[in-house]
Chain A
């Protein structure tokens, strides 16, 4: 899974030469062999490295605060979202829904790597949601739909249908 994500990220970033990855351990942690440097280990580390390689530093956040927020969500992705227990799905969606209420992107007003990796990570959850649930987590649905249509992001993943008008407004107000 992580390897397909990295391949998609490379395409999004427009990197010409695809890298060769291997995995390590039971959890299949991705490893990037670096020609003249020690190997890079871990999804987030490699993703940040690719963004720098593609000369897209703005994807890692603007200013000290923006960079900290991006790192926080990258960490959230690998620690909380990946391998979460089934019963935690609701609380993840609830928290994210609250957080995204007043934001277009995870780092506020700017598209970053955090949006890309969180989108890849949460795709399976959103794919499983019923129409009514997508409306219950309306801010997640809106953010998700916006990111999946961001040019070049959605490579290996099927599109998820998100209605653009609400059907159940009376219940959730």
Chain B
């Protein structure tokens, strides 16, 4: 099954691109540049919302565990997808959201479970878009540790350098 992903080049959806990068060995995903984000599955089914695309990609490649390992983790992943869409994107002030995120990350290496999930991809992508997140260090040590750890991993650095710059 080949999937067709079109991305908005003027505002590339980093989370979607990361998800596509992670599943590329399990499913065939072709990436085209265009004006809007959409995942074309069949003539009658298309997804245009970033979270919907991510969820679909994670579900077609269950072996990767991007949607968590059990029902509780799936719910946590959903929580973080919602969190990044509502509290990190298009918000003027990130301080309280970052405070909550910092608390959640103090005893965790990854946001959900003990491995990478959509939660990490989506929250990382939202923060990557916000080069202004305060301090990048001192006030939120756990967020910055987590953020720079992910930055250093291969798919993240690839997507970050390829598409991150087009934005700024």
Interface residues in chain A, defined as those with a beta carbon under 8 Å from any beta carbon in chain B: 101-104, 108-109, 138, 141-142, 145-146, 149, 162-166, 169
Chain B 133-168 interface mask (CB, 8 Å, partner A; 1/0): 000000001001100110011000000000000000
Q: Name which residue of chain B comes closest to A165, CB basis.
A: B107
Asked if B103 is an interface residue, CB under 8 A from chain A, the answer is yes
List of A residues within 8 angstroms of B114 by Cβ? 146, 149
CB distance from B99 to the nearest CB of A (A): 10
The total of chain B residues at the interface (CB under 8 A) is: 14
**CB-based contact A164/B108 at 8 Å:** yes
- Contact in complex: A166, B103 (CB < 8 Å): yes
Do A101 and B107 touch across chains, with their CB atoms under 8 A apart? no
Does B106 touch A at the CB level, under 8 Å?
Answer: yes
A82 to chain B, nearest CB (A): 26
Q: Does B109 contact A (CB under 8 A)?
A: yes
Q: Please tell me if the beta carbons of B107 and A109 are within 8 angstroms of each other in the complex.
A: no
- In the assembled complex, which residues on chain B have CB atoms less than 8 Å from the CB atom of A149? 114
Interface-centre pick from A104, A162, A165 (highest chain B CB count, 10 A): A104
Nearest CB on B from A144, distance (A): 10
What are 25 sample pairs from A and B whose C-beta atoms fall under 8 A apart? Answer: A101-B141, A101-B145, A102-B141, A102-B144, A102-B145, A102-B148, A103-B145, A104-B145, A109-B148, A109-B149, A109-B152, A109-B153, A138-B106, A138-B107, A141-B107, A142-B107, A142-B108, A142-B109, A145-B107, A146-B109, A164-B107, A164-B108, A165-B104, A166-B103, A169-B103
CA distance A163 to B108 in the complex (A): 10
Contact yes or no, A104 B107, CB < 8 A = no
- Pick the contact of B107: A103, A108, A166 (CB < 8 A): A166
Is B109 in contact with A104, judged by CB distance below 8 angstroms?
Answer: yes
Question: A138–B148 Cα gap in the complex (Å)?
Answer: 19
Nearest opposing residue in chain B for A102, CB measure: B145
- The reply to whether A163 and B107 contact each other, CB–CB distance below 8 Å, is yes
Task: Give chain B residues whose Cβ lies under 8 Å from the Cβ of A108.
Answer: 152
4 additional contacts (CB under 8 A) given A103-B145, A142-B108, A166-B106: A102-B145, A102-B148, A138-B106, A142-B107
A138's nearest neighbour on chain B, judged by CB, is B106
Q: Which residues of A contact B104 (CB under 8 A)?
A: 165
| Residues of A with C-beta under 8 A to B103 | 166, 169
Report the minimal beta-carbon distance from A78 to chain B, rounded to whole angstroms. Answer: 26
Whole-angstrom CA separation of A26 from B77 in the bound complex: 53
B141 contact set on A, CB distance < 8 A: 101-102
Chain B nearest Cβ from A105, distance in angstroms = 9
B145 / chain A contacts, CB cutoff of 8 Å: 101-104
Which of B104, B109, B144, B153 is most buried by chain A, counting CB atoms within 10 A of its CB? B109
Task: For B106, list chain A residues within 8 Å (CB).
Answer: 138, 142, 166
